[in-house]
Structure 1
Amino acid sequence: TTESKQTSIDLVVQPDGKAAIPYVGSVRFAGLTLEQARQAILEALKQKAVEPDVIVTSTSTASRIVTVSGAVGRPSVVPLNLVSETINEVIAKAGGPAAQPYETYVTLVRGKKTGTVLLKSIIANPSENIHVKPGDQIFVTRDPRTFTILGQVRANQRVEFGANDLNLLEAVALAGGGSDRTVDAKGYFVFRYEEPDIVMSLLGQERFHQMLSKGMKADSVGRYPIVYRFNMTNPDSLIVGQTFPIKNRDVIYASRHPSVDITKFLDFVARPIGIANSGVAIADNLDDLRN
């Protein structure tokens, strides 16, 4: 018209693949590219408008959506572009992950299949950053890596890594360090489950089979228990401790110094003597009162 040189129309394509446009009528969009749809509309307008031009833009497609939920900025239903998009791109549309990549897991549900991978692995290995498909469901979960520290330390507790990597010395320091009065620097232990080839290389094949015959059993994923001991009075242990990686669910134990037991025994022996001395003092006071 003279007042407006263009008109913008929002269309919703119906389940039959068609949509109605004023002065054009019903237009079939299913199976057409944007350019083919533009040409179809333009051809219908040539007899009804002077030098018409048409621009067709896809804003969203109800059949091309992915559900993103969990530990993201904005859990939502994300519409896909016509250009194929990857997992990271779809998560970014949902506000991005709420936690660090090294403690964030991404689960993709496609039909009856499910796969879970660490977000850090997707970033480090582009081949893991696969393209999503319409109807996919993505669940982002935060599962922080932790270790448990017990024994003669400031507090027996479970501690989050708070970093991508953590060595033994950093872990002990993160937990507050050992108690200076009671800890035995010769007895720091790390308990964990290792892969069979690692345990066999440390124990030797013969010793490994001996342990199996004595009842050593693997966990649910086929790993075997092993204990590492560190003597922190030895400078070599301090060097090794800087490169010894702590793994998720490790248990660190700081043993008690033998002198602590002796001190406790002496305290126990001295306690009755103190009670007896108090009793004598009370008796003397009673005699003074009687006199």
Structure 2
Amino acid sequence: MRGRAKTSVALGIGDVVSITIYEAQRGGLFTSTEGNAAPGNAVELPRQQVDLAGNITVPYAGAIKAAGRSPQDVQLEIKSKLSGRAIDPQVLVSVADRISNSISVLGEVNTPARIPIEPGGIQLLPALARAGGTKAPAFESIISIQRDGKIDSALLVAVNERPDNNIQLRPGDVVTVTRRPRYFLAFGATGQTTTLGPLDRRFPFDSYRMSLGDALAKAGGLQDDRAQAAAVFLYRFESRQALERMGVDVSLHPGPLVPTVYRADLEDPSGYFLISDFIMRDRDMIYVSNAPSVDFLKFITLIRSVPQTVSDYRVAAEARF
């Protein structure tokens, strides 16, 4: 999302305008001729919408083109057309209801609304505030703007942190807020086996920026009796450009995203500083390998179970016959 130039808000088809005409003396076209009429009387015409042709109608001035023009331009034309008939006329045109020059805020907000754009314009964050704010946390709220047949999206927290993303909205923009929880997966020798089961391996983010160290801690840490601290892996799809900047050969992967595996060695004390600075992304997967001794014990357990299985089979067979 980019752009900070303010939008000039002009009248459009469907807008409701209010017109007030002032005359310097009584006895003119619009002021009363009664003896108690005060100098400088004014008359307010009935409110009217800009029609499909883009016009409004003013007595003694006829049809006035309004669509695409500012209220100031319209009132100057009305004054010019009344100058030969009214007594020193002064005209005030104001917008009672902006129909064409409005934006819509929908989705996961507390008060979905159609918001008129005032002459000073309105930016994205004030528009969200007018809609009551988002229901979800900023790091889970996706802000999408539909404009001219295109859609541009960003996390709300990214809009908060970068002022140039707080763009000026334009008439007809549709702002949609969608909640998308961010999570990571953790497998292998993490957590406590007595409390973490297969259904507990998906962990939601609780902040915008979560490091690999934060993620391991949230997953329960490394199991002291099983984990191989030197073999902590993170799987993600990395951008081709990022890997090329790292000097990685990506010639075998022509696409824009390359499946990538990062490895952290926590047997090296410096590895803890590394994982504290390594930022997690949505849908990252962590795998902590088992220590070689654990795999050896699994093998021994399997070997020991074979004679017992044969013995159980023999007992069952003798009992049957």
**In proportion to residue count, which structure has more helix?**
1
- Residues of 1 paired with 2:165 and 2:78: CA distance? 40
| Aligned positions of 1:9-48 closer than 5 A | 11-15=47-51, 17-18=55-56, 30=66, 31=69, 33=71
- Residues of 1 paired with 2:135 and 2:78: CA distance? 45
Would the aligned equivalents of 2:61 and 2:78 in 1 still touch at CA under 8 Å?
no
Quote the sequence identity (%).
25
Select 1:172's aligned residue among 202, 216, 221. Answer: 216
Query: C-alpha displacement at 1:253, in angstroms?
Result: 0.6
Q: Which amino acid aligns with 1:152?
A: A
Would the aligned equivalents of 1:60 and 1:80 in 2 still touch at CA under 8 Å?
no
Q: 1:148 maps to what in 2?
A: 185
Query: C-alpha displacement at 1:125, in angstroms?
Result: 2.9
Q: 2:229 maps to what in 1?
A: 185
In the alignment, is residue 113 of structure 1 matched against residue 150 of structure 2?
yes
Query: C-alpha displacement at 1:118, in angstroms?
Result: 2.9
SS of 1:134's partner is coil
Query: C-alpha displacement at 1:163, in angstroms?
Result: 0.5
In the alignment, is residue 253 of structure 1 matched against residue 287 of structure 2?
yes
Q: Which amino acid aligns with 2:274?
A: V
Query: C-alpha displacement at 1:11, in angstroms?
Result: 3.2
Query: C-alpha displacement at 1:10, in angstroms?
Result: 8.0
With over 3 angstroms needed to count, the CA separation of the structure-2 counterparts of 1:258 and 1:8, relative to structure 1, is farther
> Any idea what the Cα deviations from partners look like across 1:90-123, whole Å, max 9, x if unmatched?
2221122223333322222222233223333333
- Residues of 2 paired with 1:103 and 1:223: CA distance? 23
Select 1:269's aligned residue among 300, 303, 317. Answer: 303
Select 2:264's aligned residue among 230, 241, 244. Answer: 230
With over 3 angstroms needed to count, the CA separation of the structure-2 counterparts of 1:181 and 1:37, relative to structure 1, is same
**In proportion to residue count, which structure has more strand?**
2
Q: Which amino acid aligns with 2:238?
A: E
Query: C-alpha displacement at 1:55, in angstroms?
Result: 8.4
Query: C-alpha displacement at 1:274, in angstroms?
Result: 5.1
Query: C-alpha displacement at 1:198, in angstroms?
Result: 3.8
- Residues of 1 paired with 2:117 and 2:72: CA distance? 15
Query: C-alpha displacement at 1:150, in angstroms?
Result: 1.6
- Residues of 1 paired with 2:169 and 2:112: CA distance? 17
- Residues of 1 paired with 2:186 and 2:143: CA distance? 29
> Any idea what the Cα deviations from partners look like across 1:62-111, whole Å, max 9, x if unmatched?
11221211222222222222321112222221122223333322222222
With over 3 angstroms needed to count, the CA separation of the structure-2 counterparts of 1:14 and 1:240, relative to structure 1, is closer
Would the aligned equivalents of 1:218 and 1:225 in 2 still touch at CA under 8 Å?
no
With over 3 angstroms needed to count, the CA separation of the structure-2 counterparts of 1:81 and 1:245, relative to structure 1, is same
- Residues of 2 paired with 1:247 and 1:67: CA distance? 31
Select 1:65's aligned residue among 102, 110, 114. Answer: 102
Q: 1:77 maps to what in 2?
A: 114
With over 3 angstroms needed to count, the CA separation of the structure-2 counterparts of 1:39 and 1:18, relative to structure 1, is closer
SS of 1:108's partner is strand
Query: C-alpha displacement at 1:185, in angstroms?
Result: 1.8
Q: 1:133 maps to what in 2?
A: 170
Q: 2:17 maps to what in 1?
A: none
> Structure 1: 5+ residue runs without aligned partners?
1-6, 45-52, 287-291
Q: 1:47 maps to what in 2?
A: none
With over 3 angstroms needed to count, the CA separation of the structure-2 counterparts of 1:197 and 1:26, relative to structure 1, is closer
- Residues of 2 paired with 1:178 and 1:91: CA distance? 42
With over 3 angstroms needed to count, the CA separation of the structure-2 counterparts of 1:77 and 1:32, relative to structure 1, is closer
SS of 2:270's partner is helix
Count of matched residue pairs: 262
Query: C-alpha displacement at 1:59, in angstroms?
Result: 4.1
Q: 2:11 maps to what in 1?
A: none
Select 1:161's aligned residue among 184, 205, 211. Answer: 205
Which one is further off, 172-181 or 7-16?
7-16
> Any idea what the Cα deviations from partners look like across 1:232-272, whole Å, max 9, x if unmatched?
22211112121122222221111122222222233333335
Q: Which amino acid aligns with 1:182?
A: R
- Residues of 1 paired with 2:70 and 2:238: CA distance? 56
- Residues of 1 paired with 2:94 and 2:270: CA distance? 67
Q: Which amino acid aligns with 1:268?
A: L
> Any idea what the Cα deviations from partners look like across 1:111-168, whole Å, max 9, x if unmatched?
2233223333333333332222221211222223322212222445232221121111
| Aligned positions of 1:269-288 closer than 5 A | 269-271=303-305, 276=311
- Residues of 1 paired with 2:159 and 2:308: CA distance? 67
